[in-house]
Amino acid sequence: MVNQKNILLGVSGGIAVYKACALASKLTQKGANVKVMMTESAAEFVTPLTFQALSRNPVYIDTFDEKHPEKIAHIDLADWADIAIIAPATANIIGKLANGIADDMLTTTLLATQADVYVAPAMNVHMYAHPAVIKNMKQLEEWGYHFIEPGAGYLACGYVGKGRLEEPESIIEAIETHQHQEPFLTGRKVLISAGPTREKIDPIRFFTNHSTGKMGFALAEAAAEFGADVTLVCGPVAEKTTHPRIQRINVMTAEEMYEAMHVHFEEQDIVIKSAAVADYRPKLVYEEKMKKQDGEWHIEMERTKDILQSLGEVKSTQYLVGFAAETTNPLEYGKKKLVKKNLDAIVINDVSSEGAGFGGDTNMVTYVNKLLKQEEIALASKREVAEKILKFIDQDMKDEIR
């Protein structure tokens, strides 16, 4: 998949630059046309001449070193590239890109390119876990950058942990796998619910839960990238949608989500209800703020409509998938929900497990279809989990499991 591709290899400054030499060499051996762009810091570790010899092309460092007067080099290279790879990607270069800073040739070119950009981080284990770095990586991921996670092991700083640049062979394999992904949901319509609902008590207070919508948004983004036209019905969350094939519908209450899901349900091919909808709401909603009083305050609750069950009762050709977030006997309760609500499949996760709770960036789940075939998805980013769930759904539909 990299053969005959124009690949811009961006190299930022870190000890892992030596691996970028091997990466440039292996890409060239695979038939790629490689051009290397280095930061000044990267040139402190390995000379540009090394990359020139390995890529058989000029190496670019200085924005103002225009080798061809008839072209603006960084724009020309941005347009030339089919694929851009940043390896190693330091915390500094990730931070610059996430904040739109273009103060050298590499950042200027990357902000101008329309190519697929793959980021292979390499840094100290504590830097990689720093909230600022995590936030910057998340921002880039939302904009469509693809991350190749670093490996764990002995780092040059002496620490042992996650932060080591992935091996060149693995970087190439990850890129080829992604490039080879077919838009298998092209022509499909997918309806997804995400996030919590808020059930009002008075103008100040409400009941809700810990859901952030991250899993549902990951499903929506992945489905859109796989070619689907996505309708995303979401409760009050901070997540953003970026893909042009996602139609976002914001709701607040369980009743509003019920209405939105039913309005759009009939025309869908796949429906995934990943939202954590309130099961109960206050029976009485106060028009004015309830003042603090002595003693206890009892609030009578009433059931909300069961959205998933109501969809299961009216589904015809739709492939209907539910989520079961459990803390006790998750498989047992999840399978009961699968049958009771007339689902085609259910995604079960134990939210009490480390790395699988609400609000995190990772998840691990069990996918069970109506034939009770189980597929385990190990701990991974929610985007990776989303992609695997969609592939399981697609395979079930091809096998006509419904």
Q: Which residues are catalytic?
A: 157
240 labelled ligand-binding? no
Judge whether 28 and 105 are in contact, CB under 8 Å: no
CA distance 322 to 312: 10
Burial of 381 (0-12, 13-18, 19+ CB in 10 A): middle
Specify which residues 192 forms β-bridges with. Answer: 232, 272
Distances (CA, A) of 52 to 37, 85, 88, 165: 10, 17, 17, 22
Supply 329's token pair: 């006997």
289 labelled ligand-binding? yes
323 labelled ligand-binding? yes
CA distance 376 to 82: 35
DSSP line for 170-188: HHHHHHHHHHH---TTTT-
CA distance 124 to 25: 26
315 labelled ligand-binding? no
Judge whether 270 and 190 are in contact, CB under 8 Å: yes
373 labelled ligand-binding? no
Q: Which residues line the annotated binding site?
A: 279, 289, 323, 337, 341
Q: Which residues line the annotated binding site for CTP?
A: 279, 289, 323, 337, 341
